[in-house]
Amino acid sequence: MTRIKMCGVTTPEDGRDAAMLGADAIGLNFFEGSPRWVTPERASRIIESLPPFVAAIGVFVNYADPQALEDFAVSIRLDAVQLHGDETPDYCSMINRVQVIKAIHMNETFQVNSLQNYPVSAFLLDAYSPTEFGGTGRVFNWSQAAGADAFGHIILAGGLNPDNVPAAIEELHPFAVDVSSGIEAEPGKKDYASMRRFVEAVQRADAN
């Protein structure tokens, strides 16, 4: 069964809708340069609105101090941190009280063996952009990810939507898929019908 993470949630209403429709996790973006940025106060309200067994994942970019990041994550009850910047394997190893997901930007120089250096719970494979850290709505060449699952759980991201996610699942059989812009009415505001279609598309792909 392919897990589903709906990222860039900015309201308790969208968080509850994601959970009700079948998302296994939601993403809360703490990078202030993102149109999907949430304050710690708003994030706490969203987390409080979630039912049991739906995980809250915090998205961070180049947070200066890994220990301070870990303390913050624990304080607002995040289940995992998703590191979307230039964090090194050593940086990742310093976070132990919550799980770590390392985002990997899939450019033409990516080598699958590079994943073996990271002591993390999962890898999120996302499209590369020279100016953005994620949420670009762009798809990367999925064949680049062949063999990545030998080094840990793979979360596939990058331009996924209800129309292309079945092909992505068929090709890579990832542990999870991550969607943000592909289910939005506008940046930071989810579209309920698109969220429902995405979940249904994943379920159909799993059934085939």
Burial class from Cβ neighbours inside 10 Å (0-12, 13-18, 19+) for residue 39 reads exposed
Task: Give tens-digit pLDDT for 1-29.
Answer: 999 999 999 999 999 999 999 999 999 99
- Mean pLDDT of all residues belonging to the chain: 94
> Hey, what are 74's tokens?
């624990």
How far apart are alpha carbons 109 and 101 in whole angstroms?
21
C-beta of residue 46 within 8 angstroms of C-beta of residue 38: yes
Task: Give 138's pLDDT tier (boundaries 50, 70, 90).
Answer: confident
How far apart are alpha carbons 105 and 40 in whole angstroms?
26
Task: Give tens-digit pLDDT for 77-131.
Answer: 999 999 999 999 999 999 999 999 999 999 888 899 999 999 999 999 998 765 5
C-beta of residue 32 within 8 angstroms of C-beta of residue 61: no
* pLDDT at residue 136 is higher than 80: no
Domain residue limits, the chain: 3-207
- Give which of 37, 52, 54 is closest to 199, Cα–Cα: 54
Task: Give tens-digit pLDDT for 37-72.
Answer: 999 999 999 999 999 999 999 999 999 999 999 999
Positions marked active-site: 7, 126
pTM, two decimals, is 0.94
Give residue 132's pLDDT.
59
Task: Give 32's pLDDT tier (boundaries 50, 70, 90).
Answer: very high
| The CATH fold of domain 3-207 | TIM Barrel (3.20.20)
Structural Rg of the chain based on CA atoms: 16
Mean pLDDT of all residues in 199-207 = 97
Task: Give tens-digit pLDDT for 153-190.
Answer: 999 999 999 999 999 999 999 999 999 999 999 999 99
Task: Give 133's pLDDT tier (boundaries 50, 70, 90).
Answer: low
Query: What percent of the chain is predicted at pLDDT more than 90?
Result: 91
